Structure 1
Amino acid sequence: MTHVPQLIVDLSLILTMAGVITLIFKKLKQPIVLGYILAGLLVGPNFHLFPTITDIKTIEIWAEIGVIFLLFNLGLEFSFKKLVKVGNTAAITGLFEVSMMLATGFITGQLLGWSKTDSLFLGGIIAISSTTIIFRAFDELGMKTQQFTRVVLGILVIEDLAAVLLMVLLSTLSISQQFAGIEMLQSICKLFFFLTIWFLGGIFVFPTLLRRYRQLMNDESVLITSVALCFGMVFLVTQAGFSAALGAFIMGSILAETTHAEKIEHLLKPLKDLFGAVFFISVGMLINPTLLIQYAVPTAILVLVVVFGKTFFVTLGAVISGQPLKKSLQSGMSLSQIGEFSFIIANLGLALKVTSNFLYPIAVGVSVITTFTTPYMMKASEPLYEWLEKVLPEKWRLYLNRYSTSTETIGQTTHWNSILKSYAQTIILNSVVVIGIVLAASRQLADELHAFIPETFITNSVLFVITFLLVSPFLWALVFKRSNRKAYSAIWLSRKYSRGPLLLLELSRVLIAIILMGFLLNSFFATPTALSVAGGIMVLGFAIFYQRLQQFYSKIEDRFLQNLNARQLEGSGKSKRILLPWDAHFAFLEVSADSNLIGKTLQELKIREHFGINVVLIERGSSTIHLPRPTEVLYPCDRIEVIGTDDQLDDFRVHVEVSTNGDIYMAHEDSIVLERIEVRNEYNIRGKSIRNSGIREKTQGMIVGLERNGERILNPDSSMIIENLDVLWIAGDRDLIKEFIKHKTADSSEEVATEIG
């Protein structure tokens, strides 16, 4: 009789149980993650009704691989550019909520009499919401097109990044058992340094390789290469003292900027699902029902802390960031649960053997309960808002409305902001690259060389020359690169007193470069020698090779930017940036084959008259129609982008019959934007009707909103006269709107001159 390894027996048991439970949970329309946890509980060592897993250690290894694939996939969906685009609202709200929930969790743990480590991990466990559960609830409740979902999705991006950083910091603190602020700061600086190095190097190298060998990359080779890169980064990151999950996340975020990102994500899905299932099953296997019963009271307390704490802090953070109370409350109540990251953080504590055994089942219990409450919290958000509207004092409501309105103003970026931002990027990024190259050469390369050749002045000199050649382009950029020449010239010519700060900025760049040059020399030679020679070598080298360094750095920068923007450039023309006034917002809807809109022109449908909605874009196959004319006909499978309120969109969607593919379309940057113009006395459009103002012709856009004396008018009538101090919201071509804003006073002057003549 052939002997079957115990691992195969255990795998067959857990996957069979998982398959059965999954079917049941799908039938009941419940999250599959909870089914996996239940399957793990049933086959785990703490439940003896069914056959029990014996080789738990091996299953834990598989579960760790599952975490790696989950974080790798999260990185593919993440993208650092997406982090930049989430906006101030999501950034402020997400950081505020995570910070407050961390503190709340720690305080709650201390009040329950738990250790500091348990309390710290508890804060991390309850700080992160569940992306999977929220997406499913949005889909089931038909909320995907509502305006607040964009805020929620942005906050989830911030939370995902915070979760990864939390895992690193919690690991560091748990191992050192130190809570000193200096050590925490050192860990954060070390993490920032390595993240920058890995991201810059990864973006420069890997997309180039994938693009160069693109013709040779079939599905099999893409999958194998991406998984190999993932585990390679996991190895590098663990060697640097960080967690394997961080390495997987970093490589995923690097590959997210490549043109292969969607294909990798698609090919990786079966692996992610398989190993992810094993991970969640292992979560269930570690649950001790006895501990769940024993700690039922703390579990109930933490459920209340999560539900009310996250609702309150997200709502407060969103209000602080300038969102209306309704949208803030809807966002807060949507995020009132914990999920997959909570399991990972709880499992991390067990793996490091720094948390108590009861914390893990409590985290699972809280997650299960809050998962079931999430849809009800989402449904209750609007009735709760209506109740608050009735009970809140009039002064409070007016203040909140004024505060929200004031933050909607599109701020103008000053020249100083642009200069400081560009200088900070130049100094930080190039300094990190220089330090990284010097450390790699003076430690790794030098150690390898000295293992074969004794350390002498000559060998150190050779290493120094090689390292200097590698860092010289970045030192050149640190001293000479000026990325925002227009802003620099404007400041220099505007006021004589502005030149002093600019000169100080230039001097600071030179001093930093000299310090880095001294650091390079000090890594290979004695300190006095380094300090005396640093400035001379740098000046001499830059004087001789200035042009070559400039050209070489430009090539490096062009390659990096090309790799960074490759995915965006390939998909340009199908997305756009939005700025949202009031409750009106953009949403994509798909015209189904049996819609009653098919075959009719926009003029015949009278969508604006019947629903109060404007159609701003139609996607038809590979073509895109911006701001379609009234004579444009709708066809099956057209994707139309409209602007309206949540209620208007809900009414209109019934007639359009949106595709149920579960996609939530996020707007990015393209040519069509929503811009705000405040009418002044000198503007030539003042006193004219909207129809005769020429705005549609000059901007290829439409006025979708008007503010007058505190009153907001959505979709104003074309016969309305534009008055002084009116605020117009125009959806149209970005460049044409900018040109219109630039010349609106000049045109007025010409008209006045004509009238006088």
Structure 2
Amino acid sequence: MHTAEILLALGGAFLAAGILARLGAKIGLPTIPLFILAGVLLGPHTPGLALVSDPSEFKLLSTLGLVFLLFYLGLEFHLDDLVNGGRRLLIAGVGYLVLNIGGGLAFGFALGWGTREALVLAGIVGISSSAIVSKLLIELGRLRNPESRLILGIIVVEDVFLAFYLAALQPVLGDASSFWAAAGQFGVAFLFLVVLFGLARWGSRLVSRLLDVRADELLVVMFVGLAVVAAGAAEELGVSDAIGAFMIGLVIGSTPHASRVTRLVHPLRDAFAALFFFTFGLTIDPGDVVSVAVPIVIAVVLTIVLNLVAGLGAARLYGYDRRAGTNVAVTVLTRGEFSIVLGTLALGAGLDPRVAAFAAGYVLVLAIIGPLAVVRTEWLSRFVPARLLPVPTGPAPDEVESSSSEAPEEAGAGVAR
């Protein structure tokens, strides 16, 4: 494609994704599945207008979307949140992971697509969407609800698992030729994580000095450079660029400049992440999604059941009533950015193409069901047996919150996730 054609396609991609997401927002749908849907509709595999005939034309810009997305998640994650959460949070978070990752792994093996594919499917099915969960809590004014701290805590535990899961997955995605080659790849990835975790915990002073500039323009240039270099270094070491971006975000998140960087990275994250999801949609053939419709339906039902068990169990551990327990169970139901990241990595690694098609359809369905269920938790809680959790008394917490004079965005300003 010539420069003019690329610019027209790029502008069209942003506009198409924005218009479709704007229409979906009117009925309460999150943006991520709509960005993907825009890519599917305007991709080369769908009849009609195709903005891009070769999705690889957007590969570099799409990679930047992944980098900024994981960089932002790293910024928002704080090690102290996990340490201060205590034993109950650890039990709740680990219990959630065991049920969902274990269920996803069993589901992956049951499909019979292959061992590597099953290991990737475990992550696709097992990890909820930090972006959608955070957005839902803010938009519905539930950040100050007691159970929201548990929800955010579960997300924090998932983020810790995410980093090590990606590291462990590198030999799988790289198709290591032997056990020792796989062990070597994991060892490099693990050492990379340990060094950056240690830097985030005890040695962020050097990075802090590097970012100690007054002008926002210079700060943007500096943290973008750090994020891209970390992603490139990770890729060079045979580790996912997603890990590098996440970890440098974690390092910067432990510096005094974290809130300022978080504010400035928002536009970059939103713009490039939209292009990342749109580009993923370009690679999806609707026929492939239809071909895995049955696995998608089974996985959605499995995810709903596992999230109900994990959410209600966590609520019982904390002594919450059934309305709060239902909030926990359905708020962490959505799947989004991480599932798509895994689908993209699976495509790049040459795994069964049905994995990426499955990820797209699965995310689309749950990213629609999840938010619709969250706004109906009071009604859904009536179906929870009283012997599991006590019946709530008084008005719903989110009703009290919505009557507060403080705007939801202000209420969430100091929350980690």
Q: Same fold (TM over 0.5)?
A: yes
Q: Residue 368 in 1 paired to residue 364 in 2?
A: yes
Q: Which has the larger radius of gyration?
A: 1
Deviation at 1:184, TM superposition (A): 7.4
> Tell me, what secondary structure is at the counterpart of 1:661?
helix
2:227 alignment partner in structure 1: 230
**Contact 2:75 2:262 survives alignment (8 Å):** yes
Deviation at 1:110, TM superposition (A): 2.5
Q: Which deviations, in whole Å up to 9, do the C-alpha atoms of 1:504-525 show, x marking residues without a partner? A: xxxxxxxxxxxxxxxxxxxxxx
**Contact 2:138 2:409 survives alignment (8 Å):** no
Deviation at 1:32, TM superposition (A): 1.7
Q: CA RMSD in A?
A: 3.1
Deviation at 1:372, TM superposition (A): 1.9
2:252 alignment partner in structure 1: 255
**Contact 2:28 2:372 survives alignment (8 Å):** no
Deviation at 1:80, TM superposition (A): 2.1
Q: Flag the 1:139–1:209 CA change in 2: closer, same or farther, 3 A.
A: closer
**Contact 1:69 1:272 survives alignment (8 Å):** yes
Q: Which deviations, in whole Å up to 9, do the C-alpha atoms of 1:44-87 show, x marking residues without a partner? A: 11113113303421312221111011111111111222332333
Deviation at 1:123, TM superposition (A): 0.9
Q: Residue 272 in 1 paired to residue 20 in 2?
A: no
Q: Flag the 1:202–1:156 CA change in 2: closer, same or farther, 3 A.
A: closer
**Contact 1:173 1:179 survives alignment (8 Å):** no
2:62 alignment partner in structure 1: 63
1:94 alignment partner in structure 2: 93
Deviation at 1:662, TM superposition (A): 5.9
- Cα distance in 1 between the residues matched to 2:383 and 2:37: 38
Task: Show the 5 A alignment for 1:132-281.
Answer: 132-176=131-175, 190-201=188-199, 207-208=205-206, 210-211=208-209, 214=212, 216-281=213-278
Paired amino acid for 1:62: L
Q: Flag the 1:663–1:324 CA change in 2: closer, same or farther, 3 A.
A: closer
Q: Flag the 1:261–1:655 CA change in 2: closer, same or farther, 3 A.
A: closer
- Cα distance in 1 between the residues matched to 2:355 and 2:332: 22
Deviation at 1:329, TM superposition (A): 4.3
Greater RCO, CA 8 A, separation 6+:
2
Deviation at 1:128, TM superposition (A): 0.8
Deviation at 1:339, TM superposition (A): 1.1
Deviation at 1:342, TM superposition (A): 0.4
Deviation at 1:134, TM superposition (A): 2.2
2:79 alignment partner in structure 1: 80
- Aligned identity (percent) is 25
Paired amino acid for 2:243: L
Q: Flag the 1:253–1:49 CA change in 2: closer, same or farther, 3 A.
A: same
Unaligned runs of 5+ in 1: 402-582, 584-644, 669-757
2:102 alignment partner in structure 1: 103
**Contact 1:230 1:248 survives alignment (8 Å):** yes
- Cα distance in 2 between the residues matched to 1:48 and 1:366: 22
User: 1:664 aligned to 400, 412, 415, which one?
Assistant: 412
Paired amino acid for 1:78: F
What is the number of residues matched between the two proteins? 413
Deviation at 1:344, TM superposition (A): 0.4
More strand by share: 1
Task: Show the 5 A alignment for 1:346-745.
Answer: 346-353=343-350, 355-378=351-374, 381-383=377-379, 385-390=381-386, 392=387, 647=395, 653=401, 656-661=404-409, 663-664=411-412
- Cα distance in 1 between the residues matched to 2:85 and 2:246: 19
Deviation at 1:302, TM superposition (A): 1.2
Paired amino acid for 2:193: L
**Contact 1:75 1:256 survives alignment (8 Å):** yes
**Contact 2:101 2:127 survives alignment (8 Å):** no
> Tell me, what secondary structure is at the counterpart of 1:658?
coil
Q: Flag the 1:209–1:352 CA change in 2: closer, same or farther, 3 A.
A: closer
Q: Flag the 1:360–1:373 CA change in 2: closer, same or farther, 3 A.
A: same
Unaligned runs of 5+ in 2: none
- Cα distance in 2 between the residues matched to 1:253 and 1:217: 22
**Contact 2:96 2:154 survives alignment (8 Å):** no
User: 1:293 aligned to 290, 293, 311, which one?
Assistant: 290
Paired amino acid for 2:280: V
More helix by share: 2
1:311 alignment partner in structure 2: 308
Deviation at 1:21, TM superposition (A): 2.0
Deviation at 1:649, TM superposition (A): 5.5
2:42 alignment partner in structure 1: 43
Deviation at 1:387, TM superposition (A): 4.5
